Amino acid sequence: MIRVPVAIDGGRAYEVLVGPGARHRLVEVLPSGIGRAAVVTQSGIDVEVDAGVDQETFLIPQGEEAKTLETVEDLCRDFGRFGLTRADVVVAVGGGVVTDTAGFAAAVWHRGVPVVHVATTLLAQVDAAIGGKTGVNLPEGKNLVGAFWQPAAVLCDTEVLSTLPPREYRSGCGEMAKYAFLGVERLRDLPLDEAVAACVACKAAVVAGDEREDPSGSTGRATLNYGHTLAHALETVGSYDLRHGEAVGIGLVFAAELAARLGRIDDGRVAEHRAVVGSYDLPTSLPSGVDHVRLIEVMARDKKTLGAGLTFVLDGRGGVEVVRGVSTADVEAGLKAVAR
């Protein structure tokens, strides 16, 4: 079992356990004195956990459509009927939809109860369950309502990944491709548990230095959104049959094309982005018929903008960083570069 520490200011460090069978270590990582556990999951997630205390399971709907304030309200009412207190724990068992939604519900129930994430998808294990960002979507955009709420622990059981549908597994590879450009070396050559742990360690290091995404910084936590500005816009503007990681793959290639247009990287680095994303069997171009004007409108509402115009996380000679005030013409040219 690989243990990756996540060091948060104020003595709030916790561990991420990575390896086959990690889900069976739940009792070991629960905060002391826990009286009961509310297990939040979805139907079809065939992963059982035993908290060693009185527990009840609560189901949320399937898909990204479950990430709503209505779902959070339903969960909180379930917690109330169950009698969940601040001396108890929420256990989120599932992928990013579950950890984002259950984590937010835990953050607001009684103004904060402990949460432990049992990540069951590759995407959740390498990214969504790590770092304490929780939240739900609005029609205006993804993850616009949420809270920073660090888990008490995260369990990444690589054993359960063998049951994922191929497309769901590839979706997680979109986040792994991102980490390949954030400093994780030889990622494709590592055994699965080591690759997951390497991505977790990379994110943990960034989060430790910038837990709440300091808006004045250009190289802190916001860099973890590399490829995500376009990805989130694609997920917001229409039904393009894209998984999150697939959208991130397109977003990474778009970010490279945009960075090249701005003179930040050369064509060789763009080709490297296309090769890495393609090596994970992820799409590298926009879906047919996508509305560029609508995409730009949604990207302009991204949380990183801070009133400074179109803002992106882009590669450059000094590495990946936030770049503000990008012109609409340059963005449109970047979109054309990744059009079919």
Catalytically active residues, by annotation: 111, 133, 175, 203, 213, 221, 225, 228, 232, 244
> Which residue type, as a one-letter code, is found at position 47?
V
**Residue 227 in contact with residue 251, Cβ under 8 Å?**
yes
Q: Is 16 helix (H, G, I), strand (E, B) or coil?
A: strand
- Closest among 68, 73, 32 to 53, alpha carbons compared: 32
**Residue 3 in contact with residue 15, Cβ under 8 Å?**
yes
> Which residue type, as a one-letter code, is found at position 185?
E
Distance set, CA 273 to CA 107, 177, 234, 252 (Å): 37, 9, 19, 7
What is the distance between the alpha carbons of residues 62 and 99, in angstroms, rounded to a whole number?
A: 13
For 339, other C-beta atoms within 10 Å of its C-beta total 13
For 140, other C-beta atoms within 10 Å of its C-beta total 9
DSSP for 18-82, written as a single string? EETTGGGGHHHHSPTT--EEEEEE-TT-------SSEEEEEE--SSGGG-SHHHHHHHHHHHHHH
DSSP 340: -
